[in-house]
Copies of this chain bind each other. A is one copy, B any other.
């Protein structure tokens, strides 16, 4: 079970709602993924009414909502968005995203820490999207964040665990869950993250942009389960060749 704040999740696969061609496809895909925590951008909500074509069916899936501040360029913008989201959605959970850079959407370490400190004070359960920076991740943990969400590779790049050397240190040091956010493009990469001790992954583009998003969602579900299971079962280290077959005495056997 993945514990974040006081909640427990059987699924270690977090998902997003962007880039799907149709809302119906998104819902079938999220359902197939087994996800229990779904992030969505403020923009996708009808803030006046608190319900729209995306929000209502999401609720019907029984998943927890994790509003995000995607689009915020500063701590100030993110904090403002967070408050709106809390009011509109009735949840104090928040995926904190601050990216001044509109080309690569990479997170701003300073503004993210500053906003996290403020939002924790305001009672939010904060899950910050951040670089795979071990020092920053510890500072976010100290600020009271409920988890850290370091990136695996530039968002939407499908390049997998490009930051692996740093993720390993983060996993080793972190006392809050580590959830790899961004960059994972294939189920094998999600499994690899879990195998190395990462607590969860957030997948959006790789599911939404697959030819068949529903099947891909299910593939990620299985891969995340496989990766966690392998982590717990003790994956062998890469190393020298060793025979699995008994070859010492073949000719004797004859």
Contact A233-B212, Cβ < 8 Å, known A169-B154, A247-B71: yes
**Whose C-beta in chain B lies nearest to the C-beta of A203?**
B244
> Is residue A254 contacting chain B, with contact meaning CB distance below 8 A?
yes
Chain B positions within 8 Å of A163 at CB level? 162-163, 165-166
A195-B42 Cα distance, complex, nearest whole Å: 34
Cβ–Cβ contact A191 & B187, under 8 A:
yes
A110-B75 Cα distance, complex, nearest whole Å: 14
> Is residue A37 contacting chain B, with contact meaning CB distance below 8 A?
no
**Partner of A70 from B106, B157, B245 at Cβ < 8 Å:** B245
Cβ–Cβ contact A105 & B241, under 8 A:
yes
A47-B135 Cα distance, complex, nearest whole Å: 31
Q: Which of A58-66, A76-84, A118-126 lies on the face that meets chain B?
A: A76-84
A246-B253 Cα distance, complex, nearest whole Å: 52
Chain B positions within 8 Å of A212 at CB level? 232-234
Q: How large is the interface on A (under 10, 10 to 19, 20 to 34, 35 or more residues)?
A: 35 or more
**Whose C-beta in chain B lies nearest to the C-beta of A162?**
B165
Contact A109-B81, Cβ < 8 Å, known A169-B104, A225-B222, A238-B160: no
Contact A72-B102, Cβ < 8 Å, known A135-B107, A222-B226: no
**Whose C-beta in chain B lies nearest to the C-beta of A222?**
B226
A113-B233 Cα distance, complex, nearest whole Å: 38
Cβ–Cβ contact A185 & B236, under 8 A:
yes
> Is residue A216 contacting chain B, with contact meaning CB distance below 8 A?
yes
Number of copies: 4
**Partner of A162 from B16, B164, B219 at Cβ < 8 Å:** B164
**Partner of A246 from B18, B104, B206 at Cβ < 8 Å:** B18
Residue from A44, A155, A191 having most chain B Cβ neighbours under 10 A: A191
**Whose C-beta in chain B lies nearest to the C-beta of A205?**
B244
> Is residue A93 contacting chain B, with contact meaning CB distance below 8 A?
no
Chain B positions within 8 Å of A158 at CB level? 236-239
Chain B positions within 8 Å of A199 at CB level? none
Cβ–Cβ contact A246 & B185, under 8 A:
no
A185-B195 Cα distance, complex, nearest whole Å: 11
Cβ–Cβ contact A188 & B110, under 8 A:
no
Chain B positions within 8 Å of A241 at CB level? 103-105, 154-157
Which chain A residues in 178-193 approach chain B with CB under 8 Å?
Answer: 185-189, 191-192
Chain B positions within 8 Å of A72 at CB level? 250
